[in-house]
């Protein structure tokens, strides 16, 4: 009898945890990384090209998107806080760009620490509220 109660309790715990995780993922808003007024990913589809050239100029920012199929439909006035790391391909390691949290950052300041083949990694401050599938940006 004790084994049945323990087994039922375990199953119930797994169900509750699973539902909580599913609810959390459903309630997150989609977001996108932009360079000035343009999306960096070519689309919101999985596997979409997500790259920036080494000499790019402008401000990098993250915004909530209203319609992932319409690149012009995002909240330009609402900035999402983020941090930045750089994946250094040459050393196969990730380094922090800064301890600062940003709403915008000059692309050249970030790219000065990059080489072709590296990746800029955007880390959302509020990952429970926003989803950012295109968080790794290839440096070309």
| pLDDT, tens only, 38-57 | 999 988 888 889 999 999 99
Dump the DSSP string for the chain.
-HHHHHHHHHHHHHHHHHHHHHHHHHTPEEEEEEETTEESBS-SSTT--BEE-TT--SEEEEEEBS-TT-TT-B-TT-PPPEEEEEEETTTTEEEES-S--BSEEEHHHHHTT--TT-EEEEEES-TTTEE-S--EEEE-
> Within a domain: residue 9?
no
Which domain does 89 fall in, by range? Answer: 28-139
Domain presence at residue 14 = no
pLDDT attached to residue 9: 45
81 is a domain residue? yes
Q: How many domains does the chain have?
A: 1
pLDDT in tens, 21-33: 333 446 778 899 9
Q: What is the pLDDT of residue 137?
A: 97
Confidence (pLDDT) at 70: 66
Quick check: is 54 in a domain? yes
Q: What is the pLDDT of residues 87-136, one digit of tens each?
A: 999 999 999 999 999 999 999 999 999 999 999 999 999 989 999 999 99
* Residue 44 located in a structural domain: yes
* 55 part of a folded domain: yes
Whether 11 is covered by a domain: the verdict is no
Is there a domain that residue 2 lies in?
no
């Amino acid at each position: 009898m004790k084994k049945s109660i323990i087994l039922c309790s375990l199953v119930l715990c797994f169900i509750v945890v699973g539902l909580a995780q599913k609810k959390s993922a459903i309630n997150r808003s989609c977001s996108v990384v932009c360079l000035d007024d343009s999306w960096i990913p070519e689309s919101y589809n999985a596997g979409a090209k997500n790259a920036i050239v080494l000499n790019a100029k402008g401000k990098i920012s993250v915004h909530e998107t209203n319609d992932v199929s319409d690149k012009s439909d995002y909240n330009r006035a609402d900035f999402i806080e983020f941090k930045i790391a750089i994946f250094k391909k040459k050393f196969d390691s990730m380094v922090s760009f800064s301890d600062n949290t940003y709403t915008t950052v000059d692309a050249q300041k970030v790219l000065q620490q990059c080489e072709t083949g590296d990746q800029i990694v955007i880390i959302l401050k509020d990952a429970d509220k926003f989803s950012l599938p295109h968080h790794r940006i290839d440096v070309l």
